[in-house]
Amino acid sequence: MPVLVTLPTDFGTADGYVGAMKGVIARLTPEAVVVDVAHDVPRHDIAHAAWVLATSAPEFPAGTIHVAVVDPGVGGARAPVIIAAGGHLYVGPDNGLFAYVAERPDLVHAITSTAFRMPSPSDTFHGRDVFAPAAAALARGLPPGAAGPATCLAGALPWATRATARGVVVHVDVYGNLITNLPGPARPLRAGGRDIAPVRTYEELPAGGLGCYTGSAGTVEIAVREGSAAAHLRLGRGAEVAFA
């Protein structure tokens, strides 16, 4: 089967950035199949993109290449890397993007070889000049170890491991749901000075009702039926939550 290359980015789809990356991959490795994952990640929001990766990448077949570009430090000290973890390959800047999906990576290599990047990459668009060529090289079958020297991941997220009884909101999704790192099943919890009762499903909530349930990532999620829990509770990522 063709090799899949997924693209989670914060480029939006109003500019030429996503198209430029797709063009490079198609030019270098026509047999690769590019899959849009999420281009409307909030600009420069590494932690948001890390959660997007965590909740989408593992669903793809083993061997899929995930190219994640949320890169406010482009041109600076953070290394461009290739990571193998859990049967998948990841390509992007080492800035915390891979904190969930590569907690225990099998290997990490910096991208220095010109077989994996443009000969004279710009300092401002590594998506086009480094990460897309690296993904194209992997999709042609070049081994990650040929990209450059082995290294360790420096990027981190403060809450990338699951909590037990006290935790935090790790993600606010487009519906305004507050996704925590408290492990399911849902139980009564406190957040934003409020007691929040568990329900089995979102649909059990009355219209406008607040509750929590075990979300699709297996952790406890706080929601308002056909509303935004984030707006209702005025809470965002990093807010503390605890089982009552």
Binders of its own copies in range 64-123 (CB under 8 A): 64, 72-77, 122-123
**Per CB under 8 A, which of residues 151..170 are in contact with its own copies?**
none
Cis check for the bond before 143: say yes or no (omega within 30 of 0): no
> Where in 168-197 is the site for its own copies (CB under 8 A)?
171, 173-175
Instruction: Extract the tokens encoding 233.
Output: 């509770």
Task: Name which of residues 14 to 53 contact its own copies (CB under 8 A).
Answer: 14-24, 26-27, 30-31, 34-44, 48, 51-53
Distance between CA 201 and CA 206 in Å, rounded?
Answer: 11
- Using DSSP bridges, classify how beta strands 219-224 and 210-214 pair: parallel, antiparallel or unpaired: antiparallel
Applying CB under 8 A, the span of 54-62, 102-110, 138-146, 233-241 interacting with its own copies comes to 54-62
Among 46, 55, 182, 239, the residue binding its own copies under the rule CB under 8 A is: 55
CB 201 within 8 A of CB 189: no
Nearest to its own copies of 44, 166 (CB atom): 44
**Residues 25 and 139: beta-carbon distance below 8 Å:** yes
Please, what is the minimum distance in Å from the beta carbon of residue 233 to its own copies? 18
136 scored as a contact of its own copies (CB under 8 A): no
- DSSP assigned state of 161: S
How near is the Cβ of 128 to its own copies at its closest, in Å?
6
Task: Give how far the C-alpha of residue 80 lies from the chain's centroid of Cα atoms, to the nearest Å.
Answer: 16
* Binding window for its own copies (CB under 8 A); candidates: 59-67, 135-143, 148-156, 159-167: 59-67
* Nearest-approach distance from CB 144 to its own copies, in angstroms: 21
Distance CA 204, CA 208 (A): 11
CB of 138 to its own copies, least distance (A): 17
In the complex, minimum distance from the CB of residue 213 to its own copies, in angstroms, rounded to a whole number? 6
Residue 22 or 162 having the CB closest to its own copies: 22
Q: Does residue 53 sit in helix, strand or coil? A: helix
> Using alpha carbons only, how large is the chain's radius of gyration in Å?
19
User: Do 217 and 162 contact (CB within 8 A), yes or no?
Assistant: no
Q: How far is it, in rounded angstroms, from Cα 219 to Cα 238?
A: 15
Contact mark string toward its own copies, 200..219, x via CB under 8 A: xxxxx--------xxxx---
**8 A C-beta contact, residue 87 and residue 66:** no
- Which CB sits closer to its own copies, 109 or 128? 128
